[in-house]
Amino acid sequence: MEPNPISETIIKEGGSSRSSAKDVARLAGVSTATVSRVLNTPYQVEEKTQKLVRDAVKKLHYVPHGAARALRSARSQMIGAVIPSFDYALYARMTSAMQTALDAKGYSVVLAEHHYNLKSELRTTEQLIRHGVDAFIFVGLTHDAELFSMLQNYGRPYILTWGIDSTGHHPSIGFDSRSATFDLTRHLIDLGHKRFGLLSAMVNGNDRATDRGTGIRTALAQAGLKLSDDCVQYGSIDLASAKAMMHKILMLAPSHRPTAVMCTNDVFAVGAMTACREAGIKIPDDMSITGCDDTDLGATQTPPLTSIHTPITEVGLAAAEQIIARLEGQPYKQSQSFPYKVVLRASVCKPAY
């Protein structure tokens, strides 16, 4: 008996192994090229043939092989998001916004954290390039120099977020952190505060924290004030570390102790509030406290935290749109700035004299 080609087809249909374009082509009675066309450039194929192919695709549960497509077309449809940390609500929210926008256009998000370490960011990005990621979104303007040469070398478009690159070297989407904290500091100065404290994220390679600090110092300097060294604490972004930092400030002699403590993020501010509560220090009467990023964590405190609303969803969406525009050769803006908003709440008031 001759082997029957039809029975082979039938076996394939029921089989549980992955079906290929070849299988679809055979079932539909066309060539693999036509299968590819139906999926990628359907307008080049006759309606009737399309239906034939689509039916076969459905029947076989055919899903094109991404790696093969990526290899052939040099495009993987994957965007890398390289983020400092997932545990900070705003980074998570930005990623979420990006993912939604990219998913809608058929791109997938490949995710990596670098835990505020620029060398780790470099290594991780290299990994992603190796995995075939087409383009990148980074947080912040400061990065390892090698990062940019690597991206250039592999022809990978990228966008920096959370800041605006005034040198114009890199495409960027963000907001003016410096001016935001400047404004907020002015407000505290206007209330009559003279002695300030600062809880800051480690500034090493973290331009968001650096800029936020700079905005504060600039405003103080203009008012003839300054931050004394023992009123400035640096730490990692978690509540325990924030409490410890604030505790140190509360140990200062009352005549030295700040009447307002500003924080480069809401987590620090909430940790500071907790430390004050535990020490019996009243907020805002004995101590004014401000945060940054306007998270739910801060907004729901008692009293609610004064903060700066950063336009992070907008940044995430814009970054997604722009990276697609670059990838698809459409026009795009070199840099975009979104407005922040100072949100005054009951965690600040005039200093007690």
Q: Residues interacting with a second copy, by CB under 8 A?
A: 16-18, 61, 63-68, 70-71, 76-78, 81, 85-87, 89, 92-93, 95-96, 99-100, 103, 106, 108-113, 124, 126-132, 150, 152-155, 239, 267, 270, 273-274, 277, 296-297, 300-302
Binding-site partner at residue 308 among DNA, a second copy, none, CB < 5 to 8 Å by type:
none
- d(CA 25, CA 56) in angstroms, rounded, equals 8
Q: Residues 137, 147: contact at Cβ < 8 Å?
A: no
Segment near DNA (CB under 7 A); pick from 23-31, 112-120, 174-182, 192-200: 23-31
CA distance 100 to 97: 5
Tell me the closest approach of the beta carbon of residue 27 to DNA, in angstroms.
12
Among 33, 344, 346, 352, binds DNA (CB under 7 A): 33
Tokens read off for 77 = 């449809």
Q: Which does 78 bind (CB under 5 to 8 A by kind): DNA, a second copy, none?
A: a second copy
85 binds, among a second copy, DNA, none (CB under 5 to 8 A by kind): a second copy
Beta carbon of residue 71, minimum distance to DNA (angstroms, whole number): 4
Alpha carbon distance 227, 304 (integer Å): 25
The least distance separating a second copy from the CB of residue 249, rounded to whole angstroms, comes to 18
Helix (H) or strand (E) holding 136: strand 135-139
Report in angstroms how near the CB of residue 227 gets to a second copy at its nearest. 26
Beta bridge partners of 161: 139, 173
To DNA, the closest distance from the beta carbon of 34 in angstroms equals 4
* Length of the chain counted residue by residue: 353
CA distances in angstroms from 4 to 1, 7, 14, 60, 264, listed in the order given: 9, 6, 16, 20, 73
Helix (H) or strand (E) segment spanning residue 30: none
